[in-house]
Structure 1
Amino acid sequence: MIVARRIEREFNKQQILEMYLNQIYLGNGYYGVEAAARGYFGGTAMELTISQAALLAALPKAPSTYDPRRFADLALKRRNLVLGQMAKAKAITAKDEALAKKSKLRLSPQEQEGGAPWFVAAVRQELNDRFGQDAETQGLRVRTTLDAGLQRAAEKELIRQIDAAESGKLGRIAAEKCNGDPEQCLEGMFVALDTHTGDVRALVGGRDYKLSEFDRSTQARRQAGSTFKAFVWAAAIQGGVPVSTLLDPAQLPPDYAPADGQIVGDRPLNLREALRVSSNRAAVALGQRVGLPAVVETAHACGIADALIPAYPSSFLGAADVVPLELVAAFAPFANGGDRILPRFIDEVRSATGDVLLKNGVVTSPALQPGAAFIMAALLSDVVERGTGASARAGLPPELPVLGKTGTTNGAQDVWFIGATPELVAGVWLGFDHPRPLGPAATGGRLAAPVWARVIGAWQRGRPIPPSWQPPDGLEQHEIDTRTGGLAIGGCPSQQVSREWFIPGTAPNDCPQHAGGIAGFLEKTFGKWFR
């Protein structure tokens, strides 16, 4: 309401309507009445007949449902409804209405559809925003950020996984062949960006552009699920909570104790172990320790800008709705040393005569301290190596550095995997447009991560392996006792000792359980000489 009033103060109703008509989506990749008039009828908006204008007015409610190229009968029925309303409002006469309703649907030939239709639609929209609705008729020469090979692999592997789910090959997944009904079809999304520049290298907004042009990577809002735990952990690390910290799920308040899909016995878990198994209870315990404001600030700093995160414990488990492209891009700081990236579709635009009209620079900003980013990379790498994201490793070169996080929302209505190498950050989502459970076998590790692995594997094939993430100056590395959370000393059993990185000043004290006896004495007296 407040925004509406501000708009009304700045613009009159005619200007508001003009802006709306210039930007409204009318199907088949057409944004704005002018583009739709040219695309559907081969003329300008000024040249539209009453019948043609009514057809365009019929489309905003559901451009895919009333697509005149695919569902002519539905489109004509709705066009006639609009004509009736126009006559009722005395915008046209009864005679005009009758003649227009008799008019047959004659569409101009459709342009041959190329590859990457959702990516092309995003580029077209940006061009229209920058250069006006007639951008496509200006002879512009556009250099985009698309990687054609990666795009082909993403399109192939996403539909391959959807087909496998619908045919029952992946276990008890509540998806069947939908026979072209968008309401019933299992959908998916894949997007990949350069970790350092934000260049969008591949974008698949759904299973079939002809079935539904809706871009689930940029236009949808879905619950992030357990992928959001990465920002809870990042806020904690950034705030000085060491990896050795033990989280005891049993100490959660009784009014909110979420179920855990995977646990490690009944013992407390340190930050590495809890993230590896994606413990819900540990996530809430850590989130409450850090505080929701710090978590929200971290998520926003990393790139989740367009999300309202409610002040409930469930927010630590990814209950907030996010734009998938933003969520995927927000993982880039974990893989690039701590910088937020801004997704970029267009590199350069030149005029028909070769003049540079637009040069899109790379836009980054600090999001995490380099030390916190490196520690997060180490923890998220462990998720892929030994945790819930292990299937994202399948088929990849063993020396390729990979980090990532699975995500499965409440009731398995959304499944995710978002991961990164030092060069590429990418995410996969599967679910239904109208959320409903995917079934008992549906998890991010089972459905989404294999798609990620196959796409990244195809892209990486023949490319040199990038060097792994390196610790920045100043970080400390110590051995800890994973059961007590203290620094390991001579008496600590070797099977429960691991090496962890710490921001200076955050390392724990010596292990309290094994500090006594001769081993403890020797450790206290001489250990510093051998660490």
Structure 2
Amino acid sequence: MARGKKSGKKAGPVRKWFFRLFKAGAFVTLLAVMALVIAVYVARSSLPGYEDLKSSPNGQMIRVLDVSGKELFSMGPSYGQWLEYDEIPQVMKDAMIAVEDRRYESHLGVDPIGIARSVYVRYQRGRWVQGGSTITQQLARNIFLNNSRTFARKGREMLLALAMERKFTKEQILELYLNKVYYGGGAYGIDAASRRFFAHSAKDLSLGEAAIIAGLVKAPSRYSPTADAKAAIGRATVVLEVMQDAGAITASQAAGTKPAEVDMAPEPRQNSVRYFTDWALPQLDLLIDETVEPIEVWTTLDLGMQRAATAAIQSGAPAGAQGALVAIDRDGAVRAMVGGTDYVTSNYNRATQAQRQPGSAWKVFVYMAALEAGYTPNDIVTDQPIQIGNWAPRNSGDRYAGDISLRTAFAYSKNTVAAAIGNDIGTSSVANMARRFGINTPIDVNPSMVLGTSDVRLLDMTRAFASIGAKGIAITPFGITKVTTMDGDLLYQSKFDGSRVLVDPWVAAGITDLMQTAVQAGTGRAANIGRPVAGKTGTTSSNKDGWFLGFSSGLTTGVWMGRDDARPVRGLQGGRAPAAAFASFMKTAVASRKVEKFDTELMLPEWQLEPDEEELFGAPEDGLYVDENGMPIETGRGLEYDMEGGQAADGPPDAPEQLDQDWIDSVLGRGEEPEEDTPAPAPDDRDEPEAGVLPSRSEE
């Protein structure tokens, strides 16, 4: 008994403290509830009236201008007819409630069950996946708040939702929501969305159409039928399943509705400017915070250059092939961008999205790494058969020139010399050079990488050449010069940063020297425009890709051509259609610019001319080789080694025809005109990435 009494004495104070804590907690909870009620009613009294909310605008107007201030187009919210609650099809209301807020009719503006589920999923996955917001909360956020993910904003959103539920009926809130929410494509409200995507009023929405629209609210950009029809249809199918699970439709209705069979409204006609704006305008999210006030966006696009670029690609791309072009000014401003032959039939931007093998255009990184490692343009290298491990690269036609200068090897895009250089300095050095110049796609460091077997983007390659043209200073492409309000207040101004040096100036001068030779006397002669040009061709195996990249008078332009399915294109070589498109565009683009000579003095030593193995198509039955016009090419120019025996293939090695310094000077505009009987080369790019055991990706 004594022990029991002792225990009771101990339990008394514990019970007493428990009741004290319980009372304190109840009191604090009561105060919190009272404070919440007061806050809700204060917020309720400050809310605008229903008619005011109906007339308030949504979305941001954006006026897009070219570099001279000429309007390209305006974009922003589009509004359809305001539909009263009774005018909205029931399937639309049911679809939205089922997919966004199943307990809409029963909660008070905030759904504790939804919040608990959201927190649980956050705990399971380690990140926020479900927001737990009700329709009322979403409406409050769209009208009064922003999309920042902070607890303070979430708290205000909940408070406003509770206040709105006290001031408006469920029908009024749903009417506001359906008429004001953003559905993608610039459309605010279901009527604007219906007219945008289906070309008719929302009063006539079918179940399938309602499912598509209801599915857009979660991610208007991702699920927009105009951006990704497959994603929109998949999301609509999920909406139908949710509606069936919620009891809004029957299983037979869900099974009988096919979102893929819904007739979509035709897209308005677009032009190639959209390739540029589709790339440039998303950058606004990183540049400014203003999301409400109307703004003017000044872009870098030059409409004159854009028209010339479009014409060059549309007229120059081989039949059945696509083409892309990017032009970057000396400060990184993108003056023209064409991502395909026709934006209407394909808005896929091959200039910024496609990843293709660059072929010999990649050799700029090989030779820059070589120059940095101590090579000079006048160094003598040997063009001969070579084997690295079990890889044996070859020149087209299996023809080799023996001892030639580094400059000559680059000009005629000698594969065996590039392979030997890569083996000497290490392919990792070449990869590091490419990374330094802005190539951010995966790079394979196997020996064949020196011939351009790693996929790249045209924009990245053009950026690299622009940095070379800037004497080794890093160039970053950009599309927006400044952003202002309609009243002229400056929100953003671009600034050129020329502080990052990628290579020493003498390395940039050396590769410019080599690239000028390639255009004036090598594989890129079709890119001549009557003023100094430095550039490089590129062709992948079986003519699947053709490239030309170069610069003149401060403007760098890259051109790619090929098929989207990577099938061979007959006659496609970098020194032909891409180089010709480059010349066609650049003649217009730099016509009003000052002629600029490159800093490097291009002095070539005497070297012996060889037939252009980059252009030879192979020996026909009569044993003759032909050029791009079908004319026979004379052989027997000496120093052309037979693949197997090392003997001169066509003619005695002791009687070569020579190309002397006088002829080179005349080609580069520095000397006297050559004599009429002086032979001139007819090179073109005919890059064969590799042979044997290491096929390129495009060959697999």
TM-score (norm 2): 0.54
User: Which range moved further: 120-129 or 441-450?
Assistant: 120-129
Q: 1:413 to 1:279 in 2, by over 3 A?
A: same
Which structure 2 residues correspond to residues 461-480 of structure 1 after superposition, within 5 A?
461=591, 463-471=592-600
Which residue in 2 is equivalent to 1:294? 429
Which structure 2 residues correspond to residues 373-452 of structure 1 after superposition, within 5 A?
373-393=508-528, 396-397=529-530, 400-439=531-570, 441-452=571-582
Mapped pair 1:52 → 2:208: no
Q: How many Å apart are 1:138 and its aligned residue?
A: 3.7
What CA distance in whole angstroms lies between the structure 1 residues aligned with 2:226 and 2:403? 51
What CA distance in whole angstroms lies between the structure 2 residues aligned with 1:138 and 1:42? 21
Give 1:35's match in structure 2, choosing from 176, 181, 184.
Answer: 184
Q: How many Å apart are 1:313 and its aligned residue?
A: 1.2
Which residue in 1 is equivalent to 2:305? 150
The answer (yes or no) to whether the contact 2:518–2:535 under 8 Å persists in 1 is: yes
The answer (yes or no) to whether the contact 1:302–1:368 under 8 Å persists in 2 is: no
SS at match of 1:50: helix
Question: Which residue identity is paired with 2:184?
Answer: A
The answer (yes or no) to whether the contact 1:302–1:367 under 8 Å persists in 2 is: yes
- 1:243-282 Cα distance to aligned partner (Å, 9 max, x none): 2131343343361122212777441332111111111111
What CA distance in whole angstroms lies between the structure 2 residues aligned with 1:442 and 1:83? 48
Which residue in 2 is equivalent to 1:250? 385
Q: How many Å apart are 1:384 and its aligned residue?
A: 0.5
Which structure 2 residues correspond to residues 279-428 of structure 1 after superposition, within 5 A?
279-304=414-439, 306-364=440-498, 365-393=500-528, 396-397=529-530, 400-428=531-559
Higher relative contact order (CA 8 A, sep 6+): 1
- 1:318-346 Cα distance to aligned partner (Å, 9 max, x none): 11111210111101132221112000100
Which structure 2 residues correspond to residues 221-300 of structure 1 after superposition, within 5 A?
221-243=355-377, 244-253=379-388, 255-261=390-396, 265-300=400-435
% identical aligned pairs: 29
Give 1:453's match in structure 2, choosing from 573, 583, 587.
Answer: 583
Q: How many Å apart are 1:153 and its aligned residue?
A: 0.4
Mapped pair 1:121 → 2:278: yes
SS at match of 1:288: helix
Mapped pair 1:161 → 2:316: yes
Question: Which residue identity is paired with 2:297?
Answer: V
SS at match of 2:559: strand
Q: 1:35 to 1:51 in 2, by over 3 A?
A: closer
Question: Which residue identity is paired with 1:376?
Answer: I
What CA distance in whole angstroms lies between the structure 1 residues aligned with 2:479 and 2:269? 22
Question: Which residue identity is paired with 1:206?
Answer: G
Q: How many Å apart are 1:451 and its aligned residue?
A: 0.4
> Unaligned stretches of 5+ in structure 2?
1-123, 132-137, 139-146, 148-180, 197-201, 203-208, 609-655, 665-700
The answer (yes or no) to whether the contact 2:183–2:220 under 8 Å persists in 1 is: no
Q: How many Å apart are 1:495 and its aligned residue?
A: 5.3
Which residue in 2 is equivalent to 1:139? 294
- 1:25-55 Cα distance to aligned partner (Å, 9 max, x none): xxxxxxx97533628963599x994331347
User: Which range moved further: 382-391 or 331-340?
Assistant: 331-340
The answer (yes or no) to whether the contact 2:270–2:343 under 8 Å persists in 1 is: no
- 1:111-156 Cα distance to aligned partner (Å, 9 max, x none): 6746611111122211245457x95x64211111111111000001
Mapped pair 1:197 → 2:331: yes
> Unaligned stretches of 5+ in structure 1?
1-7, 23-31, 68-73, 167-174, 176-185, 484-492, 501-531
What CA distance in whole angstroms lies between the structure 2 residues aligned with 1:101 and 1:345? 41
Question: Which residue identity is paired with 1:161?
Answer: G
Give 1:215's match in structure 2, choosing from 345, 349, 352.
Answer: 349
The answer (yes or no) to whether the contact 2:538–2:548 under 8 Å persists in 1 is: yes
Q: How many Å apart are 1:100 and its aligned residue?
A: 7.1
Tell me how large the CA RMSD over aligned residues is: 4.1
Which residue in 2 is equivalent to 1:13? 129
The answer (yes or no) to whether the contact 1:64–1:212 under 8 Å persists in 2 is: no
The answer (yes or no) to whether the contact 1:413–1:431 under 8 Å persists in 2 is: yes
Q: 1:103 to 1:413 in 2, by over 3 A?
A: closer
Question: Which residue identity is paired with 2:429?
Answer: A
The answer (yes or no) to whether the contact 1:391–1:450 under 8 Å persists in 2 is: yes
Equivalenced residue count is 430
Q: 1:478 to 1:414 in 2, by over 3 A?
A: closer
Which residue in 1 is equivalent to 2:650? none
SS at match of 2:560: strand
What CA distance in whole angstroms lies between the structure 2 residues aligned with 1:293 and 1:76? 44
SS at match of 2:185: helix
- 1:60-99 Cα distance to aligned partner (Å, 9 max, x none): 59967965xxxxxx99976764555545776964378479
The answer (yes or no) to whether the contact 1:402–1:419 under 8 Å persists in 2 is: yes
Question: Which residue identity is paired with 1:467?
Answer: E
The answer (yes or no) to whether the contact 1:51–1:103 under 8 Å persists in 2 is: no
Q: 1:357 to 1:75 in 2, by over 3 A?
A: closer
Q: 1:238 to 1:446 in 2, by over 3 A?
A: same
Which residue in 2 is equivalent to 1:94? 250
SS at match of 1:331: helix
What CA distance in whole angstroms lies between the structure 2 residues aligned with 1:41 and 1:189? 38
Q: 1:49 to 1:106 in 2, by over 3 A?
A: same
Q: 1:138 to 1:456 in 2, by over 3 A?
A: same
Q: How many Å apart are 1:368 and its aligned residue?
A: 1.6
Larger gyration radius, structure 1 or structure 2: 2
What CA distance in whole angstroms lies between the structure 2 residues aligned with 1:51 and 1:62? 9
Q: 1:97 to 1:254 in 2, by over 3 A?
A: closer
Question: Which residue identity is paired with 1:149?
Answer: G
What CA distance in whole angstroms lies between the structure 2 residues aligned with 1:43 and 1:62? 10
SS at match of 1:222: coil
SS at match of 2:187: helix
SS at match of 1:445: coil
Q: 1:53 to 1:324 in 2, by over 3 A?
A: farther
Question: Which residue identity is paired with 1:403?
Answer: A
What CA distance in whole angstroms lies between the structure 1 residues aligned with 2:548 and 2:430? 20
SS at match of 2:443: coil
Q: How many Å apart are 1:193 and its aligned residue?
A: 0.3
Q: How many Å apart are 1:413 and its aligned residue?
A: 1.4
Q: 1:114 to 1:210 in 2, by over 3 A?
A: closer
The answer (yes or no) to whether the contact 1:226–1:278 under 8 Å persists in 2 is: yes
